[in-house]
Structure 1
Amino acid sequence: MNEKVSDQTVKIGVLLPFSGPIGLWGNSCEACSILAAAELNSYRGILDYKVELEFIDASVAPSAVAKEVSAKVHSGEISALVGTHTSDIRKEVAHAIRGRVPYIYTPMYEGGDQCTGMFLTGLTTEQSVLPTLEWLCINVKSQRWFFVGSDYVWPAKTHSSAIDFLHSRHRQVVANELLPLHCKDFSSTLDRIEQEKPDVVFINLLGEGSIDFNRQFAQRGLDTQIIRYCSAIEENMLYAIGNENSRNLFSSMGYFEGLDTNEAKSFNKLYYNNFGELAPGLNQISVSSYEGIMLLADLAERSQSLLTNDIEKTSMSAVNFHSPRGEITLLNKNVQADVFIVQAKDNGFVPLHRVGY
């Protein structure tokens, strides 16, 4: 460890899902968080303090997560938060801590939150989904659309914005279904898809739900004629879905492991050199955990403080920082970054189009 780092520590609470519908992302998020802390501590930590991480399970009820986090913040046990979890937990935690410590929220989300002390590195529906819908409207047969998602704030709000957008492009939305988070059997929805014969199915099911749906969709042979667009599907999910079930499957995010960019290739090398070839696979969700910790350190360095008010003042101007996605900009506490539209092929993703910000 570099001698510049103090023996004193600054503890960051890292909220990650380790079970439930999105538990498949927990291990890779944890590894990327550990990598970020090690990278910071190899130089000067955060403001010359050694970075220590405390992992908090964000798989339980939002109220329980908020209660645990609030107690740790109130006692001074943690000085900042980085969260990679669902939006309902974000809302509960933000309400509970009321800006007492900086809170970096990293996944894609529905947009709109501007709470004191919260900084969002994930792309919004407007930044990621709507440009992809525009591209699909131009490049594939896309007159009739069928929406299916989890009954939860992010899919619900995303669907609302996306439906308005498609109507403005004179497309028809034939169905909009929101299903329970733990749904495993999609027979009735697939029956309706067979009946409606849409050109595109827009899928916003979380984690394991998306895996099960896509398998069942392909097993019915629907993948031969119907396009699928999944706005939150990444490498781990694609592998679980199976190459044989991934025909005509599209996605869009700011990072994919197979991107041929210098930033992505450099980060991939760093990650696997540290954790080995059998490490949990990289994806946009896990990389966002790394970015969240590195952004926190960047904001603290610029502010020379970890106090919320000081970091808020710093973030009033555009903050540019480097990440595995390339150079991205934090403006008004939200990130601006490029989006890659991809298609599944041979257990990976082939980039088709890059949307610049």
Structure 2
Amino acid sequence: MSTFSASCNKASRLTGQQFALPVERKIFVLGLFVPQSGPAGIWGPSCRACGELAVHEINTTGGILGMEVVPHIVDSGGDPQKVARLAKVLANTNVIDAIVGMHTSDVREAIVESLKGRIPYIYTPLYEGGVNSKHVCCIGETPQTQLFPAISWFLTQHHSQRWALIGNDYVWPHRSHKLTHRLLELFGASVVFETYHPLGTKKFEKSLQGLEEHRPDVVLLSLVGDDSVRFNREFSRAGLATHTIRLSCAVEENMLLGIGADHTERLFCSSGYFNQIPSTSNEKFKESYHQHFGESAPTLNALAESVYEGTHFLAKCIQDGRYQMSARQTASSSSDSRYELSVPGPRQARWQSQKRSVSCPVYL
């Protein structure tokens, strides 16, 4: 496993927002927007578990502003507009007080447009970067910090000059691949094949035929969940793995189980977290997780860990006054532009407001 030192773009603005809790509120209801259906549903059980673990840990140390935190699970794996409408209803009727979301970027964009900053919203997974809205705080890795070091490594170490780009047909793959084009051009490399599939695609004949015809050195996969599982199985069965490298930023441990060991030849993933990272903080995290849920708990992975980190990040922001919330009055988030927040988690992330980033390792 190779390690890259990178600064992960970890947040958009935390200033200028107004939040209020109902006067009678005795609990803090956290909307955990995690996928329970659709291609991303494979991530649901582990994401929910990590969110619930973080809530448990927050409650054992006094909750949020002295209130017990109660998770409200919402399936964010469906149609983005339907998820956004539900988020608006839950926020406007005071059912939930904040959102921690692990879902696709098109769902994030719909929620931001629907809520317009009505309640705090932390978006946790890797994403395409470039989100400047004050109505959401994005804490995941971006292509510049997660994908580019891996691509550079293949270009310099493997001299991989011919690339294919395959993704689902929505914002994260399109924007990430646009940035990838620019990086490859700087190295004199080229994209020889590129195609996109709707979320929920069952068969990938078009992509497999294109790869067989163009014979790239590396194929960059920006496919979600079950779509990626099916593609990688078909890719291997077509015999393409013997001569073509696969690189992804979104293949995690659950998906590896679904793909199967026989279909992982030349398959690489770049990520800020794997459950086998040999560190004291990760061993402590895994011990806590399995003590809480048992040894048969859903498999830990980067996307689930992001929900754990995002839930603690939200609580830390509120406790430290970065989000000021009152049961009797509306207050804005802090305007202090220079501060640091340590975020409990296996990566021991430290968020710097001035840079809006976290320095963290990225693994290949």
User: Same-fold call, TM > 0.5?
Assistant: yes
Question: What SS does the aligned partner of 2:203 have?
Answer: coil
Q: 2:353 aligns with which of 331, 337, 352?
A: 331
Query: Which residue number in structure 2 is paired with residue 44 of structure 1?
Result: 62
Query: Which residue number in structure 2 is paired with residue 154 of structure 1?
Result: 172
User: Does residue 210 of structure 1 match 2:228?
Assistant: yes
Q: 2:304 aligns with which of 286, 296, 299?
A: 286
Query: Which residue number in structure 2 is paired with residue 176 of structure 1?
Result: 194
Query: Which residue number in structure 2 is paired with residue 82 of structure 1?
Result: 100
Q: CA deviation at 1:332?
A: 5.7
Contact 1:174 1:196 survives alignment (8 Å): yes
Question: What SS does the aligned partner of 1:22 have?
Answer: helix
Counterparts of 1:312 and 1:102 in 2: how far apart (Å)? 13
Q: CA deviation at 1:338?
A: 2.1
Counterparts of 2:96 and 2:337 in 1: how far apart (Å)? 21
Counterparts of 1:315 and 1:277 in 2: how far apart (Å)? 43
Q: 2:335 aligns with which of 290, 297, 313?
A: 313
TM-score under structure 2 normalisation? Answer: 0.88
Query: Which residue number in structure 2 is paired with residue 348 of structure 1?
Result: none
Query: Which residue number in structure 2 is paired with residue 18 of structure 1?
Result: 36
Counterparts of 2:127 and 2:354 in 1: how far apart (Å)? 16
Q: CA deviation at 1:330?
A: 4.5
1:91-102 alignment, distance < 5 Å: 91-102=109-120
Q: 1:143 aligns with which of 161, 171, 179?
A: 161
Query: Which residue number in structure 2 is paired with residue 105 of structure 1?
Result: 123
Query: Which residue number in structure 2 is paired with residue 298 of structure 1?
Result: 316
Question: What SS does the aligned partner of 2:349 have?
Answer: strand
- Higher mean C-alpha deviation, range 186-195 or range 142-151: 186-195
Counterparts of 2:101 and 2:337 in 1: how far apart (Å)? 19
Q: 1:33 aligns with which of 38, 51, 54?
A: 51
Letter in 1 for 2:227: G
Query: Which residue number in structure 2 is paired with residue 219 of structure 1?
Result: 237
Counterparts of 2:337 and 2:121 in 1: how far apart (Å)? 13
Q: CA deviation at 1:327?
A: 2.5
Q: CA deviation at 1:125?
A: 1.3
Counterparts of 2:352 and 2:332 in 1: how far apart (Å)? 16
- Higher mean C-alpha deviation, range 181-190 or range 9-18: 181-190
Q: CA deviation at 1:86?
A: 0.8
Unpaired segments ≥5 residues, structure 2: 1-24
Contact 1:299 1:311 survives alignment (8 Å): no
Contact 2:312 2:344 survives alignment (8 Å): no
Letter in 1 for 2:43: W
Counterparts of 1:200 and 1:24 in 2: how far apart (Å)? 26
Counterparts of 1:317 and 1:229 in 2: how far apart (Å)? 36
Aligned length: 336
Question: What SS does the aligned partner of 1:313 have?
Answer: coil
TM-score under structure 1 normalisation? Answer: 0.90
Query: Which residue number in structure 2 is paired with residue 353 of structure 1?
Result: none
Structure 1 vs Structure 2: percent identity of aligned residues? 35
Counterparts of 1:315 and 1:323 in 2: how far apart (Å)? 24
- If asked which structure has higher relative contact order (CA below 8 Å, sep 6+), I would say 2
- Higher mean C-alpha deviation, range 78-87 or range 300-309: 300-309
Counterparts of 2:223 and 2:50 in 1: how far apart (Å)? 24
